[in-house]
Structure 1
Amino acid sequence: MSWIDGFGPLSDGARTRLCALPHLEMPKGAVLFRAGDRAQGFVVVLEGRVEVHLSGPSGREILLYSVAPGQSCVQTTLGLMADEPYAGEAFTATDVRAVMIPRRSFARLMDEEQAFRAFVLTALGRRMRDVTRLLEQVAFGRIESRLAAALIDMAKDGLVTATQAELAARIGSAREVVTRRLDAFQRAGWVETDRGAVRLIDLSALAKASLS
């Protein structure tokens, strides 16, 4: 089975153009793109794995997603479709064999080949779902741990006397976010909330959350 078959039924002309593209051999640790670069083409990974990272101003880095054979790079797709520069960086996590479909060829395929367009949009939707889930997990875990630690630290005889705005200021978040997290804690049976106060019910659960 050819790598082209993964795109679904294509016209003979499209298959011929894609078959003529050279294969790229990249060693582990090679840079595919950096933040601020412009997408030059649609990379199809044939063998190996590419990792896409995002770095913050503090230098903290997060792995957004990996691209294995049959998967897509959402940043490249968005870069080609919206002409936006890359926000992250991509490196080969292993030795990689790939094919790059040039920007003009990609645009032509999107215009003329329904199966290719469906493949790209479906893959984009799936990848965006995965990235959204990852960001939700990271954001929830960080805020949850900070809030749990703050509640334990501020409690006197199991009671925290503070408004949600004060708790938000304490952990460097927004009041609305703290409200949602406290609601989640209450549903889990960890706390009971009242106006201007939080009573700690399950200290062991909160202690475990503070370390996550």
Structure 2
Amino acid sequence: MTAAATVEQLYPAVAALPLALRDQVRAQLRTTAVPAGTVLFDEHQPCLGFPFVLDGAIRVSKPAANGRELPLYRVLPGETCIISSSCLLGHADYNARGVAIADTTLALLPRPLFDTLLADAGFRGFLFHLFAERMAELMQLVEEVAFRKLDQRLAGLLLGRGRVVRATHQQLADELGSVREMISRLLKGFAEQGLVALSREQVEILDAAGLRRIAA
């Protein structure tokens, strides 16, 4: 299957474009494959086009001067990045960082063609629907950071990953916008209470009800 066909399969708004516009998309899409860990964009870099994720995943985060990062959201196949969209719409540089968290394949729509597609009501509706979904997610993130303590957020994160969570303390810290030392201290406390069992790059949940009480 070609990249253009995959885009049309994953993104119905593209498949619904008028034939002339679809032909332009097919002709101008540029596909790239990157390994996990690749920085796809960073603060103060220009946005060169509108990305479609065909395979893999991207973590978008806001870096701080002290080296910490606040995760904002992930972009999976069939989804796209509102940071990229807002940069294209506002003719501004990136104000966040995007990193491939798995081997990832992208198809990039050039900026001039993105501007052309905005005239199509279906594509415009797709874009605005995306903004609404992502804004709801970001508002939830703001609420969690502002009003929930770190131990509550950590307990909720563990509960959402299943009985066995395979991740390093640093990875959990990155997910929560914290530092490894704080997460390690909280996990040790959870283990001392009999809520979890810790091993190398793994957290096993022993008392889900206890974690739910903390998360609440």
TM-score range, shorter chain: 0.5 to 0.7
In the other structure, the counterpart of 1:48 is 56
What TM-score, normalized by structure 2, do the two folds share? 0.62
In the other structure, the counterpart of 2:145 is 138
Instruction: Give the residue type in structure 2 aligned to 1:11.
Output: P
Instruction: Give the residue type in structure 1 aligned to 2:145.
Output: V
| Cα deviation, residue 71, structure 1 | 1.1
| Cα deviation, residue 144, structure 1 | 10
In the other structure, the counterpart of 2:26 is 19
What TM-score, normalized by structure 1, do the two folds share? 0.64
Contact 1:49–1:66 (Cα < 8 Å) also in 2 = yes
Alignment of 1:46-195 (within 5 A): 46-111=54-119, 113-142=120-149
CA deviation string 1:115-166 (max 9, x = no partner): 1111111111111111111121111124999xxxxxxxxxxxxxxxxxxxxx
The separation in 2 between residues aligned to 1:142 and 1:34, in whole angstroms, is 29
In the other structure, the counterpart of 2:175 is none
The separation in 2 between residues aligned to 1:48 and 1:131, in whole angstroms, is 22
Contact 2:54–2:105 (Cα < 8 Å) also in 1 = yes
The separation in 2 between residues aligned to 1:91 and 1:125, in whole angstroms, is 23
| Cα deviation, residue 28, structure 1 | 1.0
Seq. identity, %: 28
| Cα deviation, residue 22, structure 1 | 3.1
The separation in 1 between residues aligned to 2:149 and 2:62, in whole angstroms, is 17
CA deviation string 1:102-121 (max 9, x = no partner): 1111000002x211111111
The separation in 2 between residues aligned to 1:57 and 1:25, in whole angstroms, is 30
Q: What is the number of residues matched between the two proteins?
A: 148
In the other structure, the counterpart of 2:7 is 3
| Cα deviation, residue 84, structure 1 | 2.4
The separation in 2 between residues aligned to 1:50 and 1:76, in whole angstroms, is 12
Contact 2:6–2:54 (Cα < 8 Å) also in 1 = no
The separation in 2 between residues aligned to 1:74 and 1:142, in whole angstroms, is 27
| Cα deviation, residue 73, structure 1 | 0.7
The separation in 2 between residues aligned to 1:52 and 1:2, in whole angstroms, is 23
Instruction: Give the residue type in structure 2 aligned to 1:72.
Output: T
Q: Which runs of 5+ in 1 are unaligned?
A: 146-207
In the other structure, the counterpart of 1:36 is 44
CA distance 1:143–1:28, shift in 2 (3 Å): closer
In the other structure, the counterpart of 1:200 is none
In the other structure, the counterpart of 2:208 is none
In the other structure, the counterpart of 2:206 is none
Local SS of the residue matching 1:98? strand
- C-alpha root-mean-square deviation of aligned residues, in Å? 2.3
